[in-house]
Amino acid sequence: MANQMDTLEMLQMKLEKDADKIDAFKMAQIQLEKAAHKMNLDFNILSQLKEPERVLMVSIPVKMDDGTVKVFTGFRSQYNTARGPAKGGVRYHPDVTLDEVKALSAWMTWKCAVAGIPYGGAKGGVICNPKEMSEGELERLSRRYIYEISSIIGPEKDIPAPDVYTTPQVMGWYIDTYNKLTGKANYSTITGKPLELWGSEGRGEATARGLSYTVEVAVKQLNINPSEAKVVIQGYGNAGSIAAKLLHDQGYKIIAVSDSKGGAYNPQGIDPLQILSYKATTGSVRGFPNTKFISNEDLLELECDVLVPAALEGVITEKNANNIRAKIVAEAANGPTTPEADEILFHKGVFVIPDILANSGGVTVSYFEWVQGLYGYFWDEERVNRRLKKLMVKAFSEVLRVAQKEKTDNRTAAYIYAISQVAKAMKARGIWP
């Protein structure tokens, strides 16, 4: 136990030295250590869970439209497969790093365990700026990336899916390339595919819909009236905009939204579909009629009932956590809250729905898609959503039960629950050879 505490303190010191540059993998390790200490996790299990089982780094040569060849760097991290094949998305972003991909694969491991689905965790990434690439360049990049990692993926090994700046179309290129390489018509190696390639109904809205289900339960838990609840959303991409629409349809008032260029604020409420249409036309929510400009930093600190961070990692830190005035923080993004901020929010009484619970709807419906593809039998959207809600509410209840039993914050409770499920599988398997 002393060794566990020493490691935790060292990791915290390292993080504090570079507070302006949040290292996602250090965050993931601190979160793991905190839960492990709370649950007295077997040190032999902990030592195996600190690092991914496998990390692959690949070079991706792509012939650009101007005839030059540009070499991109890609990653695939498979964190733990004790509970089943690895599962996780692939992101295209200029700031992708190996540590970020490792952290995301760890979070996927816990997310799948919390959701109660038979997967381990994985994540992929390519260092690129898709906004500066043509469709042809993106297709060549995508096909070459999946070729480079093809030896470690498959329906019973590792199942990639969409993430930041990857789309159903990218997944279509992935599955076509993989099927050409294997000579098989297999549709369960990739999820998040277009419906024409046997994707699942409801997959596009799954992350946001799952989050809305957890918010619905949390609001009841805190005795908040949805018709009087105010919602703030940072990040108005796919998850953020759909969450806004779903919550708005349930009677919540959306008072502020933002994207990378800034935000729009109106305490009287914003129509989520109108501002989404405005963004599609102008490229940003900034400047939407009858709203005031608000920075992303100030938006996080607005007084509201529900705050939805739906952008990137590390936006709620020890520097701004004391200024958070939301009653509920529902994390649509992965890792938006640092460990130091978690402690502050818990002591302030903010009800955090942690990322590994709140945004697990996407991977849950990916699981449904995988199952449907294996059987060649596909469900309608009503059935998908009904099953999604059942699993999300069950996961929420399990996390809340642990939080109340251990008298701890929801994130630590989610980790305790998830890690215990993974640890049980690891112990049952043993070590071979």
From 353, 383, 405, the end of a domain falls on 353
Do residues 202 and 385 make contact, with C-beta atoms less than 8 angstroms apart?
A: yes
- In this structure, is residue 391 part of a structural domain? no
- In this structure, is residue 100 part of a structural domain? yes
> Are residues 97 and 227 part of one domain?
no
- In this structure, is residue 124 part of a structural domain? yes
> Are residues 245 and 334 part of one domain?
yes
Instruction: Give me the helix-helix angle, 2-17 and 24-39, nearest 10°.
Output: 150
- In this structure, is residue 230 part of a structural domain? yes
pLDDT of 164 reads 87
Q: What is the pLDDT of residues 88-129, one digit of tens each?
A: 999 999 999 999 999 999 999 999 999 999 999 999 999 999
**Catalytic site residue 17?**
no
> Are residues 89 and 18 part of one domain?
yes
The more confidently predicted of residues 433 and 86 is: 86
From 316, 334, 353, the end of a domain falls on 353
Do residues 370 and 401 make contact, with C-beta atoms less than 8 angstroms apart?
A: no
Cα torsion through 206, 210, 215, 216, rounded to 10 = 100
Q: What is the pLDDT of residues 287-318, one digit of tens each?
A: 999 999 999 999 999 999 999 999 978 899 99
Using the predicted structure, report yes or no on whether residue 3 has a pLDDT greater than 60.
no
Catalytic residue from among 102, 111, 123, 245: 123
Its pTM stands at 0.90
> Are residues 139 and 31 part of one domain?
yes
For the record, the structure tokens of 229 come out as 């609840």
What is the percent of the chain with per-residue pLDDT over 90, rounded to a whole number?
A: 91
Q: Please, which pLDDT band fits residue 22 given cuts at 50, 70 and 90?
A: low
pLDDT of 9 reads 52
> Are residues 136 and 36 part of one domain?
yes
- In this structure, is residue 287 part of a structural domain? yes
Q: What is the pLDDT of residues 206-237, one digit of tens each?
A: 999 999 999 999 999 999 999 999 999 999 99
What average pLDDT does the segment 321-347 reach? 95
For CA atoms 308, 312, 316, 320, the dihedral sign is: negative
Please report, for the chain, how many H helices and E strands are present, in that order.
15, 12
Q: Which domain holds residue 330?
A: 206-353
What average pLDDT does the segment 317-339 reach? 95
CA distances from 16 to 4, 202, 340 (A): 19, 41, 9
Give the number of domains in the chain.
2
Mean pLDDT taken over the chain: 94
- In this structure, is residue 396 part of a structural domain? no
pLDDT of 23 reads 84
Using the predicted structure, report yes or no on whether residue 371 has a pLDDT greater than 70.
yes
> Are residues 174 and 33 part of one domain?
yes
- In this structure, is residue 18 part of a structural domain? yes
Q: Could you tell me how many residues make up the chain? A: 433
pLDDT of 394 reads 97
Q: What is the pLDDT of residues 167-207, one digit of tens each?
A: 999 999 999 999 999 999 988 999 999 999 999 999 999 99
Using the predicted structure, report yes or no on whether residue 17 has a pLDDT greater than 50.
no
pLDDT of 21 reads 52
- In this structure, is residue 302 part of a structural domain? yes
What average pLDDT does the segment 384-406 reach? 97
What average pLDDT does the segment 59-80 reach? 98
> Are residues 276 and 178 part of one domain?
no
What average pLDDT does the segment 15-30 reach? 69
First-to-last alpha carbon distance for the chain, in angstroms, is 27
What average pLDDT does the segment 306-334 reach? 95
CA–CA distance, 125 with 113 (Å, rounded to integer): 22
Task: Please identify which residue in the block is written with the tokens 């399990």.
Answer: 398
Task: Please identify which residue in the block is written with the tokens 């729009």.
Answer: 264
Q: Please, which pLDDT band fits residue 334 given cuts at 50, 70 and 90?
A: confident
What average pLDDT does the segment 139-156 reach? 98
Q: Please, which pLDDT band fits residue 19 given cuts at 50, 70 and 90?
A: very low
- The reply to whether omega before 433 is within 30° of 0 (cis) is yes
